[in-house]
Structure 1
Amino acid sequence: MATLIGDSKSAVQPSEEQQVVLDEQIGHIRVVTLNSPRKLNIISSKVVSRLAELFEKWEDEKEAEIIIIKGTGRAFSAGGDLKMFYEGKADESWIEVVYRMYWLLYHLHTYKKTLVAIVHGLAMGGGASFAVPSTFSVVTENTVFATPEAGFGFHTDCSFSYVLSHLPGHLGEYLALTGARFDGAEMVATGLATHYVPSKKLPELEKRLVSLSSGEREAVKASIEEFSIQVKPGEKSILNNIPLIDKCFSKDTVEEIIESLVAESNTEGNEWVKETIKTLKRSSPSGLKITLQSIRRGRKQILFECLKKEFRLTINTLRGLISNDMYEGIRAIMIEKDNSPKWNPLSLSEITEEKLELVFNPFKDEFELQLPEEGKIARWEGKYENSSYQKK
Structure 2
Amino acid sequence: MTNIKTLKKEVAPYEKSTTKESVWQMINTLGPFFLLWFLAYQSLSISYWLALVPIVIAAGFLTRIFIIFHDCTHFSFFKSRKANRAVGTAMGVLTLFPFDQWGHDHAVHHATSGNLDKRGTGDIWTLTIDEYIAAPLKTRLAYRFYRNPFVMFVLGPIYVFLLKNRFNRKNARKKERNNTYLVNVIIVALIALLSVTLGWQEFLLVQGSIFMVSGSIGIWLFYVQHTFEDSYFEEDKEWQYVLAAVEGSSFYKLPKVMQFLTGNIGYHHVHHLSPRVPNYKLEQAHENTEPLQNVPTISLLTSLKSLRFKLWDEENKTFVSFRGIKSSAKSSARISTEAKPEL
TM-score w.r.t. length of structure 1: 0.24
TM-score w.r.t. length of structure 2: 0.27
Give the number of the structure whose residues are more often strand, by fraction: 1
Give the number of the structure whose residues are more often helix, by fraction: 2
Q: Which has the higher contact order (CA 8 A, sep 6+)?
A: 2
Mark the structure with the bigger radius of gyration: 2
